[in-house]
């Protein structure tokens, strides 16, 4: 598999080491000796629900979605991973198999680290253990907020929140408006906990109100503050 990103092992080691600073020289060497760097194409599966967790993953470049297959074959996007972020380790710490699956949203590069190496670092290095504690705590806080939003907000509020989440997570292109992530209407609906038809209608209504502009999968946020008001009011 090939991707548009060219990332060297030295760059990957620096990226991970910077997140876990300080690492000792021996730990950096172990990291270099054991890291596995894999390129994925759009829609490639990175791990599957039900598989045993054996590696910690770090998204070096690109975008990844974590999702859960629900009833009637409908999938629910749990979170979107951006570079540079770690994922795929919660199941190990919980003593479980994966409860979700991960798929490349576009071409991406992922660094894989053996779980046992990471556990060794956690035991040896307080900085690494605190990193994962903080990371899990932030994920839990975000999950709590999303649960409230997806169950209590109306359709317009949920979709506005999703668009703003994508903007805040991935940013915009050089024009300052276009989201730098292109998702299908099905994915946007999944993230907003609504049907695809409702997502399409609501996007259209936002466009009529000039809060956004739509060009295929490209979405431009034209009135950020107005969209945030819609999200806040729910």
Q: What is the pLDDT of residues 24-63, one digit of tens each?
A: 999 999 999 999 999 999 999 999 999 999 999 999 999 9
Residue range 9-150, CATH number: 2.60.120.10
pLDDT in tens, the chain (234 residues): 334 567 899 999 999 999 999 999 999 999 999 999 999 999 999 999 999 999 999 999 999 999 988 776 677 888 889 889 999 999 999 999 999 999 999 899 999 999 999 999 999 999 999 999 999 998 888 877 777 777 778 999 999 999 998 998 888 999 999 998 888 899 899 888 889 999 999 999 999 999 999 999 999 999 999 999 999 887
> Tokens 């576009």, residue?
106
Question: From CA 90, how far away is CA 92, in angstroms rounded?
Answer: 5
CATH of domain 153-233: 1.10.10.10
CATH 2.60.120.10 domain locations along the chain? 9-150
Tokens (6 digits) for 224: 């950020």
Q: Which residue has the tokens 């894999």?
A: 38
Looking at the chain, the domain(s) classified CATH 1.10.10.10 span 153-233
Tell me how many degrees the CA angle 218-198-203 measures, rounded to the nearest 5: 30
CA distance 9 to 14: 9
């Amino acid at each position: 598999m090939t991707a548009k990103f060219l990332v060297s092992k030295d760059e990957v080691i620096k990226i991970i080491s910077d997140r876990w600073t300080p690492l000792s020289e021996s730990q950096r060497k172990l990291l270099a000796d054991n890291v596995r760097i894999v390129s994925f194409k759009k829609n490639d599966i990175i791990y599957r629900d039900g598989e045993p967790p054996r590696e910690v993953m770090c998204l070096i470049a690109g975008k990844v979605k974590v999702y859960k297959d629900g009833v009637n074959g409908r999938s629910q996007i749990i979170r979107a991973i951006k570079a540079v972020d770690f994922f795929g380790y919660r199941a190990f710490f919980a003593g479980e198999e994966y409860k979700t699956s991960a798929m490349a949203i576009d071409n991406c590069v992922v660094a894989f680290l053996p779980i046992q190496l990471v556990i060794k670092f956690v035991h040896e290095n307080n900085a690494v253990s605190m990193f994962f504690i903080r990371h899990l705590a932030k994920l839990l806080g975000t999950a709590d907020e999303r649960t409230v939003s997806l169950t209590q907000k109306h359709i317009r509020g949920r979709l506005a929140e999703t668009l703003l989440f994508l903007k805040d997570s991935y940013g915009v292109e050089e024009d300052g408006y276009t989201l730098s992530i292109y998702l299908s209407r099905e994915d946007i609906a999944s993230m907003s906990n609504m049907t695809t038809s409702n997502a399409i209608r609501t996007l259209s209504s936002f466009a009529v109100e000039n809060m956004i502009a739509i060009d295929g999968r490209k979405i431009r946020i034209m009135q950020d503050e107005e969209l945030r008001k819609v999200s806040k009011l729910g």
